[in-house]
Amino acid sequence: MANINELMDGWSYGQQTNITTPAAQTAIWRLTNLNTKPWAKVPVNEDDRAEIGKGHEFPTQLFKSHYNMPTYEISKYCSSEFLAFVMAFSLGNVTAVAGTGATPPTTYTIVPAMGATNPTGLELPYFSFVQQMRPGASAILDEILIGCAIKNWKLAIKNSPGRASATLVAECVTTGQYLTPSGITLPTGAQQLHEFNAGMVTALTINGINYLAGGSGKNFVSLDASWENNFRPGFFPGSGEQDGFQIQGRFEWGDRSFAVQFVVRVQAGSAEYGNLVNQVIGPATITFTRDANNVFTMDIQSMGFNVVELSNTDGIATMQVTGVQLYDPTNGLVTMSITTPQAGICAPPA
C-alpha cells in the first residue's frame, strides 16, 4: 500500500534522439504536478469471439493486441521553465540563445513548425516521462515512458489571487514503449521553478486595445488560450512492440488549431464590438515579467474577433470575445518568447 503523495514525476526537458531512445538522466527534471494520477499503461487483449469454426459463439483464446496508452495531463502553475518546455515541445521550431552574466538565462524563441520545412516532417520533438513510487529493490512503481509528445495545451489567466491565476496544462501522449525499472535516479527534491501570477502581466494589448493602461485599463477579466496538435494514430507496419503488444511509432500532427478567448468588462464605447463589426485585425501581445531572467511573451501576429458576446461575470457586465488568429505571410501565426534560467530545453542530446 502506498499513498499517492509518494508518487514522484520527472520528465526530460531535453529531447530524445528519436522516438525510441530514452532521454539521458542529465536532462530530466523532477517536478511537481497538480494532476495527482499516475500515467496508466493500458495493454489491450483481443479474443476470437467473432471467428467461426469453434462450434459456438464464445471466445476461447486471448491474443495480445496493442498498448492503448491514455493521454496524460501535466498540470502546473505557469513558470518560465514549464512555459518554455510546453511551448517548445508542442510547437516544434525552437531557437535558444544564452544570455550573459554570472548566471545567464536562456531566451527561447518558438514558433509552430511547418510540415514543408520541418526537418522531422510532421513529427515534434519527443521527451521521456518518469514516474516512481519507492524506487529501489521493492519499488511500487518505477518506469520511464519513452516517446512522449505534447498533444495540446491550455493556458488560463484569471482575475484571482496567487499562482492559480496563471495555469498551464499540457495533455501528453506516449507510444507504449517503456522501461522498468527506469534506471533513472530522480533528484532528492522537486526542482523549484520561477512561477508567474496574473499580477506579473506587464503587457496586454489585443487588437489595438491596451488592457493595462488608458480607458481599457483594469477591464481585463480572464484569458484562455489553447493549442491542439490533433495527432494522427501512430500504428503502422514496423511501429514496434512492447511485451508482445503493438505500440505506436510516430505522432504526426494533423490539422492544428490555436484558440484564444478572453473576457473584459463592458464600458461606454467598448471597442471590441466595433472591431468585430468592422473586421479590424491586429497583433495581440501578452507578457509576464517576474524579473529580467524570467519573462514570457506570447505574440499573436494577427488577430480578429469571431464572436463578441455580452455576459455576466460575478455580477459585472462583461463581454466574452472569441478571437480568430490569422496566419501572417511574413511572421506566421504566433511567436512565444521565453527567458528562463533553465538551459537545454528541447535541446538534442549532446
User: Footprint of another protein on this chain (CB under 8 A)?
Assistant: 93-97, 107, 109, 111, 114, 116-119, 297, 299, 301, 328, 330-333, 335, 337
Using the minimum distance from each CB to another protein, give the nearer residue, 178 or 296.
Answer: 296
We find the least distance from the C-beta atom of residue 111 to another protein, in angstroms, to be: 5
The residue (of 245 and 296) whose beta carbon lies closer to another protein is 296
DSSP output for 19-78 = TTSPPPGGGEEEE--S--S-----EEEEESTT-SSSSSSS---EEEEEE-PPPEEEEEE-
Contact 305, 271 (CB under 8 A): no
- State which residue, 226 or 331, has the beta carbon closest to another protein: 331
Cβ neighbours of residue 122 closer than 8 Å, sequence gap 6 or more = 115, 252, 253
Q: What is the DSSP pairing of strand 106-112 with strand 334-340?
A: antiparallel
What is d(CA 138, CA 273) in angstroms, rounded to the nearest whole number? 62
Question: Cβ 302 to another protein, closest distance in Å?
Answer: 12
Q: Cβ neighbours of residue 33 under 8 Å, at least 6 residues apart? A: 9, 74, 75, 76
Which lies closer to another protein via its Cβ, residue 44 or residue 97? 97
CB 106 within 8 A of CB 328: no
User: What type of residue is 176?
Assistant: G
Give the nearer residue to another protein in terms of CB position, either 63 or 327. 327
DSSP state of 82: H
Select 297 or 322, whichever has its Cβ closest to another protein. 297
Residue among 117 and 312 whose Cβ is closer to another protein: 117
Look up residue 185 and give its three cell numbers. 535516479
Rounded-to-5 percentages of helix, strand, coil across the chain:
10, 45, 45
Q: Which is nearer to another protein, 143 or 299 (CB)?
A: 299
Minimum gap (Å) between residue 134 Cβ and another protein = 41
CB 109 to another protein: min, Å = 5
Closest approach, Cβ 347 to another protein, in A, equals: 10
Contact residues for 50 (Cβ-Cβ < 8 A; gap 6+)? none
The CB-based long-range contact list for 327-330 (8 Å cut-off, 24+ gap) reads: 327/301, 327/302, 328/301, 328/302
